[in-house]
Structure 1
Amino acid sequence: MLNSLRNNIVVHRPNQLSRQWAQRIVNRYAANAKVSEVDVQSVNIGTSTRLRLTVKHDAMGIVPSRWFVKTPSLAIKSRAITAIPRLLHKEVHFYNSLSHGTPVNLPQILAAQSLLGRGTTLVMTDLDELGYRPGLTADALSLEQARRVVEKLAGFHAHYWDNAGLLKTHRWLNGFSHNVENHMGTLLAVPLMRRGLERAGSLVPSKLHRSALHYAADRRRITKILATGVQTLVHHDCHPGNLFWNQAEPGFLDWQLVRMGEGISDLAYFLATSLKPESRRTHEKQLLELYLASLTEHGIGGLDEEVYYRRYRAHLVYPFEAMIVTLAIGGMMEHNSNLELIARASAAIDDHDSYAALAL
């Protein structure tokens, strides 16, 4: 029991981020170091509670002094949506069991723990400490930035391409969390889509409303259609706010929705949310070609560009749904940023007649 207490780093509220709590983390890296102070710099509540800390200790050079902490959301609505399917628990699983072999840049994790029935806490080095720039949700990426992300996504997808054994080894990927998330998504799809469309107003052309509601009503079947391609590990939430930058090199944050899926879905989500519509229209064809060429360079053969273009069109429905549902629930994303991503994703499905593409 004593050893369990010494290793427990799970917290539920900001006032539990004590010197003794920080000491348990520092002890993992420097057994004789002492923590003298913990100062909570900021608290941000969205899909999770995100806290930035300054930790004073005498293990400089071994342990960073600025930390970033994620716990389940303190907002009741956001907590209900994310805690029931245990999304933060899933992110902790990813960092503890898959991150070491993942060929993309990730944040530096100091501690990650999930205890059934007791909570989940993720502690990482603050990006500022490492000189990295965190992405902002409404960032509009340049062509060169988009190219770098697309290349990274292709390498990531190629690494896990058609790896059926991954689900046997890591059943949590598409297990309880995935099933509960799908069930909740199907159950709430129509009321949340309707509310989100109402709140979005003129940002979503009225001609898309009926198709969006038909999609919501038929979500379970459509989700299965969108999962019929070659399976790989996907991020599933690849918008600008879940990126960070080490100069020109992108890294990927927030792995709460990681799962097995079709790689092109990550590309659709990324392009629909990360580029202004005019930039996406100009560059998306070459970015899709870059994605397929990068997969080929990583040894993935038999890629039909026409097939992947059709799949890309169809997968654009998900980032639109995700942003509309986020708006419908409220409090999960900064409001103006949410509206901006809705405008971008709405333009993408309109440009590509994505609901019609589902029939393909």
Structure 2
Amino acid sequence: MQLPHRRHSVNTEVIKNNKHDKHNIVAQRPSDLTVGWAQRVVDNRLDGVIVSNVSITSLDIGTTTRVRLTVGHDGPSNLPRRWFVKLPSLAWRARLITALPRLLHTEVRFYNEAARAVPASIPDFLAAQSDSGRGATLVLQDVTESGATAGSPGDILEPEQATLVIEQLARFHAHFWDKPDLVQTYRWLARPVRRLEDCLGTALAVPLMKRGLRRAGQTVPSAIHALAVHYARHRSRIMRFLSDAPLTLIHHDCHPGNLFWNQSQPGLLDWQLVRFGEGIGDIAYFLATALNPEVRRAHEARLVADYAQKLRDYGVTQIDNESLMQRYRAHLTYPFEAMVISLAVGGMMKPESNYELIRRAAAAVEEHDAFAAIRI
């Protein structure tokens, strides 16, 4: 759906630290989402529309604070009345982990500068602003307004659904595949924030991996505990290995909770971790977390081959299926790490979903001897 033309440009990384600036829509907590705040959001898009009321319909706290709003206004029908707002997390551990690498700021910049170039289904957005001192705020159209259904981290996908997601990821990856000019255009995705994120991840990798494994208990097979800690100790070198390939823009967080479904077609949510990387990493993350191990085991070879063929269909050459499968094996380590670290930090997602995604990712790592596929 096309939203009304913007009246004011708000595509700035940093705005004035002034609560009374009529263009400032940065909020820090759900109580800031008032009628006056919503009016400023609308004013940045249209003249003459009056907001009459705002009500919170749901509140979820994880890596960010996610608020669903119903907004009453007298504007046109294509100005949404159901909004999805992302604010900094109210969970202090999650906020600490996400604040230094400026993950929500990165997602704001993605929507302002890159989203229109992405050939994938993503939510329409109304406003996206960041302030270096006060945080960042992202206002999206709630996908439910167009009849779509947002996913949940614990969802179990069927093979037919997985095929559709693979096709969309292939189209997305092929568009940005090995194009230095695009890397230059979106160089802010690579530095310096991503370097800070990598440094932070490496510094905390060992203690968080150990803590996460203790909390996971028998959910993680004992045979891979020592391998996981070894991975954490060498994380910096492993990240270099996993990115030593033709690069493309990747989502980097493709679990079922970051999908939405509109008339059986998938779309991608939550672009906080978007970056340049190896496309097969998104495929590994998705298949390791979205499918039951039995279903993944039966279909993953075909799905990886489908991904390779779709890349060729979209003009990406020099794709070797055997090499791609080897890289897939190696990249299975990252979704396992991500889920174990999420459990270690706590508050990143509902515990029952976190344990289930650890179970699925651990099964993929063990079956593929994924740690052995890493060459450092």
* Shorter-chain TM band: over 0.9
Q: Structure 1: how far apart are the matches of 2:20 and 2:167?
A: 42
**Structure-2 separation of matches of 1:252 and 1:308:** 23
Q: Which runs of 5+ in 1 are unaligned?
A: none
Equivalences for 1:108-187 in 2 at 5 Å? 108-187=124-203
| Match for residue 327 of structure 1 among 318, 343, 358 | 343
Q: Secondary structure at the match of 2:21?
A: helix
Instruction: Name the count of aligned residue pairs.
Output: 360
State the TM-score, normalized to the length of structure 1.
0.98
Structure 2 counterpart of 1:135, one-letter code: G
- Listed one character per residue, the Cα deviations across residues 140-193 of structure 1 (whole Å, up to 9, x for unaligned) are 111110000001001100000001122322222111221111011100000100
State which of 28, 47, 51 in structure 1 corresponds to 2:44: 28
Structure-2 separation of matches of 1:167 and 1:35: 40
The amino acid that maps onto 2:109 is H
From 346, 358, 366, give the equivalent of 1:342: 358
Distance in structure 1 (CA, Å) of the matches to 2:45 and 2:84:
17
Q: Which residue, 259, 277, 281 being the options, matches 1:265?
A: 281
Q: Is the 8 A contact 2:241 2:375 kept in 1?
A: no
Match of 1:95 in 2: 111
C-alpha distance in structure 1 between counterparts of 2:78 and 2:166, whole Å = 34
Asked if 1:224 is matched to 2:240, the reply is yes
Q: Which runs of 5 or more structure 2 residues have no equivalent in the other structure?
A: 1-15
C-alpha distance in structure 1 between counterparts of 2:357 and 2:281, whole Å: 17
Counterpart amino acid of 1:113? Q
Displacement of 1:91 after TM fit?
A: 0.5
- Answer yes or no: is the 8 Å Cα contact 1:29–1:63 preserved in 2: no
Output the CA distance in 1 between the equivalents of 2:122 and 2:58.
22
| Alignment-mate amino acid for residue 314 of structure 1 | A
2:339–2:357 contact (8 Å) kept in structure 1: yes
Q: Which residue of 1 aligns with 2:322?
A: 306
Is this contact kept in 2: 1:92–1:113, CA < 8 A?
yes
Counterpart residue number, 2:66: 50
2:23 aligned partner? 7
TM-score by structure 2 length?
0.94
Does the 8 Å contact 1:327/1:338 carry over to 2? yes
SS for the counterpart of 1:5 is: coil
Deviation digits for residues 226-254 of structure 1, max 9, x if unmatched? 11011000000000000000111100000
Question: Following TM superposition, by how much is the alpha carbon of 1:359 offset from its aligned partner in structure 2, in angstroms?
Answer: 2.7
Q: Deviations over 1:208-227 (max 9, x none)?
A: 00100000001111111111
Partner residue in 1 for 2:122: 106
The corresponding residue for 1:353 is: 369
Residue 238 (structure 1) aligns with: 254
1:278 to 290, 294, 319: 294
Separation (CA, whole Å) in 1 of partners of 2:56 and 2:295: 39
Distance in 1 of aligned mates of 2:92 and 2:204: 17
Which residue identity lines up with residue 333 of structure 1 in the other structure? M
Deviation at 1:265, TM superposition (A): 0.3
RMSD: 1.4
Q: Assess if the C-alpha contact under 8 Å between 1:195 and 1:328 holds in 2.
A: yes
Instruction: For residue 7 of structure 1, give the secondary structure of its aligned residue in structure 2.
Output: coil
**What secondary structure, in the 3-state scheme, does the structure 2 residue paired with 1:256 have?**
coil
